[in-house]
Amino acid sequence: MKNTFDAIFEQAQDAFLSYKYLSGKKKAGFLNEIGNGLERIKTKLIPLASSESNLPEGRITGELGRTVGQIRLFEKLIEEGSWVEATIDHGDPKRTPAPKPDIRRMLSPLGPVVVFGASNFPLAFSTAGGDTISALAAGCPVIYKAHPAHPKTSNLVAEVIFEALSVSGLPEGIFTHVEGGIPEGQKLVKHPTAKAVAFTGSYYGGMALFELAYQREEPIPVFAEMGSINPVFAFKNKLEKELDNLARSYAASLTLGAGQFCTNPGLIFIPKTYAKQFSQAVQSELNEVVAAPMLHEGIAKSYYAALDQFQQRQELDWIKVSEKKDLEHLKLA
């Protein structure tokens, strides 16, 4: 008896055998249906994504525009066709001292791709985000692993993709929506039918998936955008002229999106002669920042756990901005 994952991948592989030969025009039509579907449900989708992620509706509105824009971009690309990079090097049987062979090459789809959704982008890097759409545009079925931070949003977008498949007359196995935790994600990556993995998230999560993919009997590529420390170096001539402005910009970047953006500056290096003055300026700016809920409870718990670990390190100097009890509303309500 087949398990659930075997059935999912068998269905995806069966769909791949026909989908990979689908014309660019027909694939573009399928993507167009997805884009149109997202625009039709935006009045329902935007508040839902906002409520699940704690991101403001203005941010979600912009992210929806980005998501649909990505879809439209791939529509044009695959219909135009140059992305396959078709190359023909004609042979010459009369060439001496040896005949020149006829050599032809082009890019072709790999097979089923496992895509992991991101927590901080419930639309643009999730169910119908760039990873999913690029794989579908290339002719690869997608097995999408939903992020637990915004399950209702993910399911609603998945329904749009299912409807687009139906309207386009395409096999259901071209897109599969999977929910679950770490064990389910690991099984997807290790399944022998999977041909590639796409991931947006933490460094540790991405490297764990990379190791799984590398240890397979047939290693597969992992396309990962992972977390970063993003160090910043401030130099004397800048600090002499714009110390307060730099402190203001640093604090704003540090706390953007409750500090959850991938561009968050994790380290800043300041010449020792300016360290105290800069620290005081940053402290002043941070005291003015209004606290906000985090994306989901898991991130909030990780934040407080890391904070407790750092506070136990005696060699670190701490700037007191607020009492921890005053930050409790950062947790998911």
pLDDT at 333 over 50: no
Percentage of the residues of the chain whose pLDDT score is greater than 70 = 95
Arithmetic mean of pLDDT over the chain: 91
In this predicted model, what pLDDT tens digit does every residue of 198-248 receive, in sequence order?
Answer: 999 888 899 999 999 999 999 999 999 988 788 999 999 999 999 999 999
In this predicted model, what pLDDT tens digit does every residue of 68-100 receive, in sequence order?
Answer: 999 999 999 999 989 999 999 999 999 999 999
In this predicted model, what pLDDT tens digit does every residue of 248-276 receive, in sequence order?
Answer: 999 999 998 888 888 889 899 999 999 99
pLDDT reported for residue 77: 95
Contact 116, 209 (CB under 8 A): yes
Q: What is the mean pLDDT of residues 139-167?
A: 97
pLDDT at 328 over 90: no
How far is it, in rounded angstroms, from Cα 33 to Cα 73?
14
Pairwise pLDDT comparison (170 vs 303), residue with the higher score = 170
pLDDT-derived band at 2, boundaries 50, 70, 90: low
Query: Quick count: other Cβ atoms within 10 Å of Cβ 300?
Result: 18
pLDDT reported for residue 321: 62
Contact 226, 207 (CB under 8 A): yes
Q: Which of 10, 172, 184, 262 is catalytic?
A: 262
Structure tokens, 58: 């203005």
Q: What is the mean pLDDT of residues 9-16?
A: 97
Pairwise pLDDT comparison (38 vs 260), residue with the higher score = 38
What domains are there in the chain, each with its CATH number?
4-84+104-226 (3.40.605.10), 231-330 (3.40.309.10)
Q: What is the mean pLDDT of residues 141-167?
A: 97
pLDDT-derived band at 329, boundaries 50, 70, 90: very low
pLDDT reported for residue 322: 56
pLDDT at 161 over 90: yes
pLDDT at 5 over 70: yes
Q: Which of 13-22, 40-49, 60-69, 284-293 has the lowest mean pLDDT?
A: 284-293
pLDDT reported for residue 262: 81
Residues in the chain: 333
Q: Which of 225, 285, 315, 323 is catalytic?
A: 225
Q: What is the mean pLDDT of residues 55-59?
A: 92
pLDDT reported for residue 143: 98
How far is it, in rounded angstroms, from Cα 141 to Cα 19?
8
Contact 111, 195 (CB under 8 A): yes
In this predicted model, what pLDDT tens digit does every residue of 283-323 receive, in sequence order?
Answer: 999 988 888 888 888 888 888 888 888 888 877 777 666 55
Which amino acid appears at position 301 of this protein? K
Q: Could you tell me where the beta strands, DSSP code E, fall in the chain?
A: 87-89, 103-105, 113-116, 142-145, 175-178, 196-201, 222-226, 231-233, 267-269
pLDDT at 150 over 90: yes
How far is it, in rounded angstroms, from Cα 289 to Cα 301?
21
Predicted TM-score (pTM) of this structure: 0.86
pLDDT reported for residue 313: 82
pLDDT at 154 over 90: yes
pLDDT reported for residue 331: 41
Q: Is 225 labeled as catalytic in the residue annotation?
A: yes
